């Protein structure tokens, strides 16, 4: 089954209680153990499992309604031009959700993420879109099905369906029905993340192309699944026992190894800027001086610092530009 | 056999025609495929093979003579204090070479490497020392034996016995008798290397400690032997066919992967400074613009640019601080 057929299968014979329009929110998420590499690009099935933390009230709010004619898509109040690749991607994703083949959607998405801090907004956006579609059509889909649907919009969107710590199971099935995310039961209200924006330039190489180049040319990537397995285990233990040092170490080591697999690709894939490295050395120097401070980084130049609430004043003193997030603040 | 016994075995029943004092030169070398990780720290047996290029007339000149009493060691004209770890290491290395147990050596080493460019001077120094000892004692050792002896002083010293391209064979034997370096027959007079000195601060973590930490904690290091095997093959082909692009690519990719294995260690081992990364991005931008320019890096912050003679003016224009070396200039 391709993606269209898989989504149609999941929505098959759902009872409907349509409303006029519906809205939903989904948080952004930052992986502590990264998703890097697909085993199936059509269904966004991952090469490994991953584990993230959602960013509380920071994320995307999406309103959808049915309309006659073509889809209309707005991002933060601005219409998204039809000719953009992202418009094409959204229209294609929406196709299997249409009640009739010629039905159109109006999609209106706002996100409240710190601007230009290098957040992947598509994860929260696709998760909120799937939630809003479910409410609009009154399907009453369960969390697992919603996660699978979101995954087919953008891989890491499957994790943005939930708050707190979330694990995306790699799954084994070819149709991806066992590759979905689930929230972990533990909370950790004192946990803090702070974004350190080094550069807001667009990525020179997008994530999917970066994943493909790494898989195809980086010999070190062969060891990546082993690294993920070790870090997932460490993170689960750290979260269960509230061991911050273990959490920080596993998250930072996972991110460093992620970037290492990219540096070993050809041409070398280096998302770091000199300022990224300066910030990394600063974190390492503070840690060597006894400060419990770690970081993670996605495929971009910005750092996300990890620390506990009690260190917040100290961290903000050392990194005046840091933007602090309380992931468990989503009342 | 430990190192002492192995060296005694190699020198056993050699005919002697001692002279008063003897001098020898050995070039420094830069690995295009790196030596990183030991399978035996006592004998300096490597975890993988490696391939280097010697730096022509840049290297170490060592004069040795016998004396009564303790060893006297001079580096660039300055006496090396007895209490330094390097003094201890040299005395210990010299022990099996003494004609009588209480004989002392005077060792006087000068190197002519660009100051503070991050060259490992110990490789050239140990190679020159072994050559000078052979001349002093008149043993007439063959090149393979000299390479094995130098290896036991400092691993990469086994490659500094020769000019041009040099391959160090990994070997299989526990006693290391098949782990030695040999020169490749090809020359490449147009090849150039330029050192780009970013920082001359002492390394925060020495090579042996760095190797050990990487081997013990970096999951990505598990893929390093596969990477070396691929790069060695590519380098041999590149040298044989004088394919500069293939040579540059294999050397740079090998160096990037070397640093990647270290970044994946815990704590992360990062020899790069922000200025290193800025220079790397500059090389990548020039290459994207069509300039055939590559680099390699050892366990330190400085780049060694690789290019052909015809690009020398261009490279010096873009990198005014670069110090150009002609590796095949050793008339």
Q: Considering only alpha carbons, which residue of chain A is nearest residue B231?
A: A219
Provide the domain count of chain A: 2
Q: Across all residues in chain B, what is the average pLDDT?
A: 95
d(CA A59, CA A156): 13
Predicted pLDDT of residue A105: 98
Same domain, B68 and B207: no
Disruptive mutation site among B249, B257, B296 for chain A (greatest number of A CBs within 10 Å): B257
For residues B43-52, average pLDDT: 97
| B interface with A, Cβ–Cβ below 8 Å | 218-224, 226-227, 230, 249, 252-253, 256-257, 259-261, 263-264, 266-268, 270, 272-278, 280-281, 284, 287
Same domain, A33 and A164: yes
Say if A315 falls within a structural domain: yes
Confidence of residue A118 (pLDDT cuts 50, 70, 90): low
Say if A138 falls within a structural domain: yes
Rg of chain B, C-alpha, whole Å: 20
**Residue B19 reports pLDDT greater than 80:** yes
**Residue A116 reports pLDDT greater than 70:** no
Residue A52, strand partner residues: A31, A166
Same domain, B174 and B298: no
Look at residues A183, A206, A236 and tell me which one is the last residue of a structural domain: A183
**Contact between B272 and A277 using a beta-carbon 8 Å cutoff:** yes
**Contact between A219 and B223 using a beta-carbon 8 Å cutoff:** yes
| A interface with B, Cβ–Cβ below 8 Å | 218-224, 226-227, 230, 249, 252-253, 256-257, 259-261, 263-264, 266-268, 270, 272-278, 280-281, 284, 287
Same domain, B241 and B156: no
Residue A73, strand partner residues: A107
CATH of the domain at A220: 3.30.70.890
Closest residue by Cα to residue A118 from A269, A301, A320, A295: A301
Predicted pLDDT of residue A147: 98
Looking at chain A, the number of H-run helices and the number of E-run strands are 9, 13
For residues B277-299, average pLDDT: 97
**Contact between A268 and B261 using a beta-carbon 8 Å cutoff:** no
**Contact between A270 and B277 using a beta-carbon 8 Å cutoff:** yes
Same domain, A243 and A178: no
Minimal CA separation from A224 to chain B, in Å: 7
Confidence of residue B193 (pLDDT cuts 50, 70, 90): very high
Say if B26 falls within a structural domain: yes
CATH of the domain at A7: 3.30.230.10
Among the partner residues A223, A268, A274, nearest to B219 by beta-carbon distance: A223
Task: Give me the total of CB pairs closer than 8 Å, taking one residue from chain A and one from chain B.
Answer: 102
Cβ proximity of A190 and A308 under 8 Å: yes
Report the share of chain B in percent with pLDDT over 90. Answer: 90
d(CA B45, CA A165): 46
Say if A25 falls within a structural domain: yes
Closest residue by Cα to residue A134 from A64, A71, A183: A64
Closest residue by Cα to residue A162 from A142, A147, A141, A140: A147
Disruptive mutation site among B223, B254, B273, B297 for chain A (greatest number of A CBs within 10 Å): B223
Same domain, A263 and A321: yes
Extended beta strands in A47-149, E state: 50-68, 72-75, 78-79, 103-111
**Residue A117 reports pLDDT greater than 60:** no
Q: What is the pLDDT of residues A126-168, one digit of tens each?
A: 999 999 999 999 999 999 999 999 999 999 999 999 999 999 9
**Residue B23 reports pLDDT greater than 90:** yes
d(CA A292, CA A247): 11
**Residue A324 reports pLDDT greater than 60:** yes
Say if B248 falls within a structural domain: yes
Predicted pLDDT of residue A206: 86
Same domain, A22 and A152: yes
Instruction: From chain B, pick out residues whose CB is under 8 angstroms from the CB of A259.
Output: 263
Predicted pLDDT of residue A253: 98
Q: Considering only alpha carbons, which residue of chain A is nearest residue B250?
A: A266
Same domain, B95 and B158: yes
**Contact between B256 and A268 using a beta-carbon 8 Å cutoff:** yes
Cβ proximity of A47 and A39 under 8 Å: yes
**Does the bond joining B266 to the residue before it have cis omega, within 30 degrees of 0?**
no
Predicted pLDDT of residue B117: 55
Say if B331 falls within a structural domain: no
Q: Considering only alpha carbons, which residue of chain B is nearest residue A295?
A: B268
Distant-in-sequence contacts of A316-322, Cβ < 8 A, 24+ apart: A316/A194, A318/A282, A318/A286, A319/A194, A319/A196, A319/A279, A319/A282, A321/A196, A321/A197, A322/A194, A322/A195, A322/A196
Q: Considering only alpha carbons, which residue of chain B is nearest residue A220?
A: B223
Tokens 């418009």: give the residue.
A87
Q: Considering only alpha carbons, which residue of chain A is nearest residue B227?
A: A219
Burial B20-55 (b: 16+ CB within 10 A, else e): eebbbbbbbbbbbbbbbbbbeeebbbbbbbbbbbbb
Disruptive mutation site among B221, B229, B274 for chain A (greatest number of A CBs within 10 Å): B274
Look at residues A147, A163, A183 and tell me which one is the last residue of a structural domain: A183
Q: How far is CA A144 from the centre of its chain?
A: 17
Look at residues B124, B150, B183 and tell me which one is the last residue of a structural domain: B183
Say if A175 falls within a structural domain: yes
**Contact between A284 and B266 using a beta-carbon 8 Å cutoff:** no
For residues B205-233, average pLDDT: 95
Same domain, B153 and B66: yes
d(CA A23, CA B134): 84
Same domain, B208 and B177: no
- Give the range of the structural domain holding residue B307, as residue numbers without chain letter: 191-325
Cβ proximity of A94 and A117 under 8 Å: no
Tokens 């990505």: give the residue.
B220
Say if A331 falls within a structural domain: no
**Residue A186 reports pLDDT greater than 90:** yes
Confidence of residue B113 (pLDDT cuts 50, 70, 90): confident
Predicted pLDDT of residue B96: 97
Q: Which ipTM did the prediction report?
A: 0.92
């Amino acid at each position: 089954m391709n993606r269209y057929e898989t989504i149609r299968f999941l929505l098959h014979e759902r009872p409907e209680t349509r409303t006029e329009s519906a809205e939903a929110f989904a948080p952004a998420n930052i992986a502590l153990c990264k998703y890097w590499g697909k085993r199936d690009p059509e269904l966004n099935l991952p090469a490994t499992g991953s584990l993230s933390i959602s960013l509380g009230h920071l994320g995307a709010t999406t309103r959808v309604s049915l309309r006659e004619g073509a889809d209309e898509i707005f991002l933060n109040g601005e219409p998204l031009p039809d000719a953009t690749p992202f418009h094409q991607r959204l229209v294609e994703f929406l196709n299997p959700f249409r009640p009739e083949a010629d039905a159109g959607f109006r999609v209106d998405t706002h996100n409240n993420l710190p601007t230009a801090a290098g957040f992947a907004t598509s994860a929260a956006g696709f998760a909120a879109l799937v939630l809003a579609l479910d409410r609009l059509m009154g399907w009453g889909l369960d969390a697992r099905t919603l996660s699978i649907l979101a995954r087919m919009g953008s891989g890491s969107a499957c994790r943005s369906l939930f708050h707190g710590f979330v694990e995306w199971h790699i799954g084994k099935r070819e149709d991806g029905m066992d590759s979905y995310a689930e929230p972990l039961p533990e909370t950790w209200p004192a946990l803090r993340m702070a974004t350190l924006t080094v550069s807001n330039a667009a990525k020179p190489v997008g994530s999917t192309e970066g994943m493909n180049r790494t898989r195809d040319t980086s010999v070190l990537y062969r060891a990546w699944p082993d690294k993920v397995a070790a870090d997932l285990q460490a993170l689960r233990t750290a979260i269960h026992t509230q061991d911050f040092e273990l959490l920080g170490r596993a998250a930072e080591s996972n991110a460093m190894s992620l970037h290492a697999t990219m540096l070993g690709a050809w041409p070398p894939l280096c998302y770091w800027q000199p300022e990224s490295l300066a910030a990394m050395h600063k974190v390492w120097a503070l840690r060597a001086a006894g400060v419990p401070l770690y970081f993670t980084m996605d495929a971009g130049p910005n750092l996300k610092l990890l620390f506990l609430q009690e260190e917040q004043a100290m961290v903000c003193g050392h990194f005046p530009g840091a933007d602090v997030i309380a992931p468990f603040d989503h009342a």
